[in-house]
Structure 1
Amino acid sequence: MAFDTFDEGIVPGGMRSKYEIRILICYLLNSIKEPVSKEIIVDSICEESLANYFETSSCFDDLIEKGNIIEEGSDGDIKTYTVSKNGVMIANQLDTILAYTVKEKAYDCAINLLAQKKKERENSVEIVKTDMGYNVNCKISGGNLDLLSFSIFAPDMSQAQIIKKNFYENPTTFYKVILAMLTQNKESVGEALESLL
């Protein structure tokens, strides 16, 4: 198979042909079974250094143009896509061309990115600059109901970003710890804190 892509930053065993990248994109969309953004698919391939970002983005656009990927709707302002019948056929017939580890890494990364996006939709963090530093406003949502909202001070942007990152990583545990402390349920506090270890 001819190599026809840039290979800067690609791990050994990564993809160096547009043909393989297109197959992997179809495979991911077919495996995930729900509409996803271009960003999720491209990032899931590139975060694992399986292919070059620009080549992957270009291949995604090519698949749209050829009708192998179709726009399904949107998630806010972001367009979401699914694989067409022809794309499903490509995924099913040609997925043996791709190494198992390449498919596994890309799929696992895509699932993790989707889970992170879901957390960010259901929970929110807003960083607001003040005269003294930053207020980090966090909110935990349970569907149409806000379960908990709070604001915490951070002296600088780097600490505010750490708070934001850690909040998004496990908002459920955070909620359990706060609730257990406020209700003075020592057993629940211990259980919630153990899940962080």
Structure 2
Amino acid sequence: MPGFIQDKLEIKFLILYIAARIEEPAPFDAILDLTLCDDAIDYFDFSDCLADLVRTGHLTLSDAGLYALTDKGRRNGAACESSLPYSVRRRCDKNLEEWNRRLRRQRQVKASVEQRPNGTYTVRLQLTDDKGGVIDLKLMMVDQAQAKAVAKRFQEAPQKLYGRIIQALTEEHE
């Protein structure tokens, strides 16, 4: 199936459309994946367009390799986004929804492992929501493998751990 995007100008409009809806600055690969929602776009045209948007001040590129929309990019993108085919915008919106959901989860669920001077490990588990901290728990683990396993399990299902802690702390004792 041929794509709807016909030229580099439309690719630039699409990149600006995406950059305006992504919740935080994003790396090259993320913007590429989100932009490739149309079959007519290829990697080389995308790369050229992204570089042009940075060069013209529509996007910034941080030292960490993250792209962000500028005020100029926001204004010009908003003025041109209606020229993008509806089906392309719909596909982008669906992909952006999933991307932004993953970004929110990364911000809300954190786990880290740090070695202590005595050779044991501290696992820090953090869960937040849009109102602030829900849980901030530090646990001592005897070895790194155990610490990493606890951190991984927490990141997969933090709500389970939270629920079990609340249940353990609020249930009646016999």
For this structure pair, what is the TM-score category when the shorter chain's length is used for normalisation? 0.5 to 0.7
Letter in 2 for 1:124: K
CA distance in 1, matches of 2:26, 2:66: 9
- Correspondence for 1:95 among 80, 84, 87: 84
Identity of aligned residues (%): 18
Please, what TM-score do these two structures have when normalized by structure 1? Answer: 0.54
RMSD: 4.4
CA distance in 2, matches of 1:108, 1:57: 23
| Equivalent position of 2:126 in the other structure | 139
CA distance in 2, matches of 1:160, 1:19: 48
Q: Which runs of 4+ in 1 moved over 6 A?
A: none
Alpha-carbon distance change, 156 to 181 in structure 1, aligned in 2, over 3 angstroms: closer
Please, what TM-score do these two structures have when normalized by structure 2? Answer: 0.59
Alpha-carbon distance change, 138 to 16 in structure 1, aligned in 2, over 3 angstroms: farther
Alpha-carbon distance change, 77 to 65 in structure 1, aligned in 2, over 3 angstroms: closer
Unaligned runs of 5+ in 2: none
CA distance in 1, matches of 2:150, 2:162: 19
CA distance in 2, matches of 1:38, 1:141: 22
| Equivalent position of 2:104 in the other structure | 118
Q: Is the 8 A contact 1:35 1:81 kept in 2?
A: no
Structural mapping, 1:1-197, within 5 Å: 12-13=1-2, 18-30=8-20, 32=21, 36-39=24-27, 40-46=30-36, 51-52=41-42, 55-67=45-57, 69-71=58-60, 78=66, 80-82=68-70, 83-92=73-82, 94-96=83-85, 100=87, 102-128=88-114, 137-141=124-128, 145=133, 147-151=135-139, 155=145, 162-163=152-153, 165-167=155-157, 171-172=158-159, 174-184=161-171
Instruction: Classify the secondary structure of the residue corresponding to 1:103.
Output: helix
Q: Deviations along 1:86-143, whole A, 9 cap, x unmatched? A: 2222212x113xx61x33232222232223223322331224579x9x8753212356
Unaligned runs of 5+ in 1: 1-11, 186-197
